[in-house]
Structure 1
């Protein structure tokens, strides 16, 4: 199986390359600029890949409030163009999306069929991309995930480790609840989905995939410090005490049952995955 992956340097793309180096052809921004959707579609048309994974995105949640047009192109128009090109070739298209397509109300885990209601420009752009992928009409999986972390790039775990090494006490938001998800787990899920779709198994549709158990950002921080052996006191604060340009959903819980039912991919335990990430970071600096 040969996979064409958009987003060579991103967290998930790097894990895809690590897990399947002989199967993944990853394209960086120089080769595939998502601000030029038709150029990305042309790359798929010229490829001999068996499936396409879009692991690239405009991820600046706050910056998107000022750059919504660019976010709409990268997160909305580009995935739609890619999906049309994949459909024209008759190959599966896997697209990574986000919990930000929901408004974050309530406490029940969001199901894939629940009505979206994004709170900001980033969520609106990702929703536009989902709509374009579905409209393309080809075999596809839209995989919504949340709170991605890894040993690569910028993410919550690495930020906590940096701050925890500098301070004895931190205040962390505790009224936003979700499922931290390791990029390595997302990559493994994407590979499993791709294999099944290429083999003519599984179903097209929208699915959720996030780590378990659900936790607050403050709880996530406490577990990170505990596993890293850092003595840092964490004080819970509400979202209102940490204002940001873009509103964050309070409820990012995702119901992942459909993915397990249709693809036999269960929710991963993020605490175990966190340990693996910390080991990777320790090796990198040892």
Structure 2
């Protein structure tokens, strides 16, 4: 009897090992399939972005060459819409010719399934005086940023408020040494070169702001690829506070009526986002930080 029990236990151990082996092999195979499909999808997204950049460069050149009255051309991925801003309502008479140019160039690059929208500026038309003012303000920012680079500060964002003549600049490396003195020096440099008396405000980004900036390329890919892969996707959000970083995927998943099915889909979404982050970490070579993926249902209740 003892031998029978030992043999049965041994048999159960063999069967368990067998299932564990094939389960692990199945999981590994599934992960490899997800990674392969994801890499392909990310590559397709990258190529489409490159097409859009080329189109936004080439189409305006051709439109302006024909003097069709274009002021700008933009593209929105939401709805896949090209927006044409015409100089005035008279320029809209060239709409069909502009449409032909857009369709022709898009066709050459195999860019499909898009719409076009036309806007006439009319009373909002930029005057020559406003053009000169914009050039003047851009000159001020250029002088400020070049001066800060000479002082060893780079990777900063900047803004300018004309009404209060204030230049605001955020630096992101090194300690902001002698802030007050540096602001005075920079204001003097701007005045010496432009004869404009601006007040300068300097601020150094903290660690969380810098992490936010580093993660933006990853967030962009998460938004793009989860929307492409999951019909239930309806939005994206993130928060660095409280720690760890929270990556929030908003969905139209029902809960809890069909929770069995929902649970599997939630797991798929989490695994997909994890794989995106893993791939982008390797590509961007940035420091890894703890994070959690949160999936919300159609009523914004947390499913995971």
TM-score normalized by the length of structure 2: 0.23
Bigger proportion of residues as helix? 2
Asked which structure has the greater RCO (Cα within 8 Å, sep 6+), the reply is 1
